[in-house]
Structure 1
Amino acid sequence: MSDSHSSDPEPRKKKRLSRLSGIFKRRPEPEDREDIKAILQSAQERGIIDSEAAAMISGALDVASKTVADIMVPRARIDLLDISTPLAELLPIIIETGRSRFPVYENDRDNIIGILLAKDLLLSIANPGIDLRPLVRPAVFIPETKRLNVLLHEFRSSRNHIAIVIDEHGSTAGLITMEDVLEQIVGDIEDEYDDEAEQTIFQTGHNGWRVMAITEIEDFNDAFGTHLTDDEFDTVGGWLGAELGHIPRRGETIERQGLRFTVLRADPKRALWLHVQRELPNLEDSSTATL
């Protein structure tokens, strides 16, 4: 007759040791950000966190490794206001661009003296002769090499939402906002500069458009059904300079392929914004021709 107490306790002992080993066994610690991201990916695949949470955590990790130069709005795409320009001339630019904040310069575009908030102009619209200087707020200047996590902390502590980026020579390199930094964590936020990162042609009327001079000629031809040559230049601004024979100046106008091109904004080196008007046929002339 078998004795139930005579069974070998060794397997049970090994099983208990195995469970204890599993409890006290420590996972290897991640050695870098890629290891952390791999753990996040594994957690997402197992349903512990959703894809949005994983993306935000991964974005927060990336913020610590990126610098301002990685995400800033480049100088060529910044709309600057000249402090010497009368408000009556600036208002159409402010309204047309639809921005909420504008860097303001004096004499030279690298000499930025502050930031003008569009909302500060609301009480002064009735007085177009007002001096803008009292409305200009101090600008914050930061180097291209500043890390985004440090900048985000500074934005939060100072309650400032915009900074001018300067290069090693002290020249204006670009602009960055708090929204730009937050986007690295939470994803795209609809922002005044973001639309222009992809869209460079904006319809302003039935037959009128506002066009960035950096628009690729190929994209322009597709949008307007034109045949501007791109043999020597990639952008509409470069093509326009060749057609004019000099660097485009504000207010200059030419007509090509049924379109009227007017330079809205330009700096000493290039055109920045153009107004494009489709020329309608002269109905009076056409009716006369049929008589």
Structure 2
Amino acid sequence: MSDPAIDSTAARQALIALRAEVGKAVVGNDAAVTGLILALLCRGHVLVEGVPGVAKTLLVRALATALDLRTTRVQFTPDLMPGDVTGSIVYDPGAAEFSFREGPVFTNLLLADEINRTPPKTQSALLEAMEERQVTVDGTGRPLPDPFIVIATQNPVEYEGTYPLPEAQLDRFLLKLTMPAPSREDEIGILSRHAEGFDPRDLGAAGVRPVAGVEQLAAGRAAVAEVAIGPEVIGYAVDLCRATRAAPSVRLGVSPRGATALLGAARAWAWLSGRGYVTPDDVKALARPALRHRIELRPEAELEGATADGLLERVLATVAVPR
């Protein structure tokens, strides 16, 4: 029988190596890669916001290759139906019977591209998959593979013809990551790679290889569950979330589910950082990605230029940090 401590250390090293491996294809997005690793450790889902052309799809494909996982991309459009995502019952003439044909949701990393371009009926088709890790078709529940996470993208600029995600669905995402335009140095690096023949459709030629897999993820999840959280850290997370609900500019603050997500992500970050306990700094580091999408501002506050990130900055600056 292997030593669990050695397994945990090896799993951590393998998952940390993912950043360098994904970096062979994607330049300057270490924070987004780390966020996706945390989501996999927490069995959570991720909403990625960024303008077109900042390598959101390439990031997911490179991560799947480096983890040796299956990935499927679904382009969400106004005419996409729920069955196009979950699968449907079809008639097989050869066997003279009806059978279930799996949809693209039966994968490890589901890239829901521009999720806000499809109507609520199809958006909600993902809710059961995200929460229960199964889909129900024709009255039968069908389990999804493990691991399974949804990585949904949306464009923060163009809202014409979109269907904003309802609060209940936003709350199902563990993290909301932003992918800004690259810095000048990173953009030069991107163009230099393309000038040297880099083909984003051929990750093998770019040298991206599996450096971790399902075993390392399972060992990491087991180790994360053992990370200690002191009562003062729990109280700090609760105080942060309650402060968002009390802010005058907020219509809807962070729910208890959001506080749970914040602690879970902080726990995974603590383990990935090589610690067996969570500190207040871990909570602060994950507060923005874990909470920003769970805050709905009042319309008048938005007109005055208020943002969820700005509110979180003020909350983090005013809520007392335990020592």
Give the TM-score normalised by the residue count of structure 1. Answer: 0.31
- Larger helix share, 1 or 2: 2
Higher relative contact order (CA 8 A, sep 6+): 2
TM-score in terms of structure 2 length? 0.29
Between structures 1 and 2, the one with greater strand share: 1
- Larger-gyration structure (1/2): 1
